[in-house]
């Protein structure tokens, strides 16, 4: 488990999926650190998909902040399918984030259920292998 100033990040891999579990509060100031830790683990693990479990976080990024974060994803990670699991189901934010991600060339979806998110990611990995 890695610890930031106000959040905890646990990492693992399962079936070529990098799994990140975030707890605590992610602030605008700690977002860069969290993102850097996630990208480093993704490179190291050579996973083909990403699952962010943010159900236990206490904060949600602002829409403007999310927009700029999506636009700054490194090019080599733009093709990695990403599922975000969150119980709060902030539909307005999630819809905006998914659309913004898609416009930036990313494949991102929000889910309320962890198993459904894994099934979706596995289907994306299999689909990519067909191409």
The tens digit of pLDDT for each residue in 13-63 reads: 999 999 999 998 887 778 888 888 999 999 999 999 999 999 888 776 677
3-state secondary structure 34-54: HHHHHHHHHHHHCCCEEEEEE
At residue 128, the 3 state secondary structure works out as helix
Q: Enter the tokens of residue 53.
A: 């479990």
Containing structural domain, residue 26 = 2-130
The CATH number given to whatever domain includes residue 43 is: 3.30.750.24
Mean pLDDT to the nearest integer, 91-120: 91
Mean pLDDT to the nearest integer, 101-118: 92
For residue 24, CA distances in Å to 19, 39, 45 come to 17, 19, 24
Long-range contacts for 37-46 (Cβ within 8 Å, ≥24 apart)? 37/2, 37/4, 37/9, 37/11, 38/9, 38/11, 39/74, 39/77, 41/11, 42/18, 42/77, 42/80, 45/11, 45/13, 45/18
pLDDT bracket for residue 115 (50, 70, 90): very high
Number of domains in the chain: 1
Instruction: With beta carbons less than 8 A apart as the criterion, state whether 82 and 46 touch.
Output: no
């Amino acid at each position: 488990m890695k610890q930031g100033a106000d959040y905890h990040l646990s990492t693992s891999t399962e079936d070529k999926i990098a799994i990140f579990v975030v707890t605590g509060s992610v602030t605008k100031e700690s977002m860069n650190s969290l993102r850097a830790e996630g990208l480093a683990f993704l490179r190291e693990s050579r996973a083909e998909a990403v699952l962010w479990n943010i159900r236990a976080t206490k904060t949600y990024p602002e829409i403007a902040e999310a927009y700029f974060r999506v636009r700054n994803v490194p090019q080599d990670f733009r093709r990695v399918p990403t599922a975000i699991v969150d119980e709060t189901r902030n539909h307005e934010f999630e819809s905006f984030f998914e659309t913004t991600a898609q416009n930036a060339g990313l494949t991102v979806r929000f889910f309320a259920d962890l198993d459904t998110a894994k099934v979706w990611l596995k289907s994306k990995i299999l689909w990519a292998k067909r191409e």
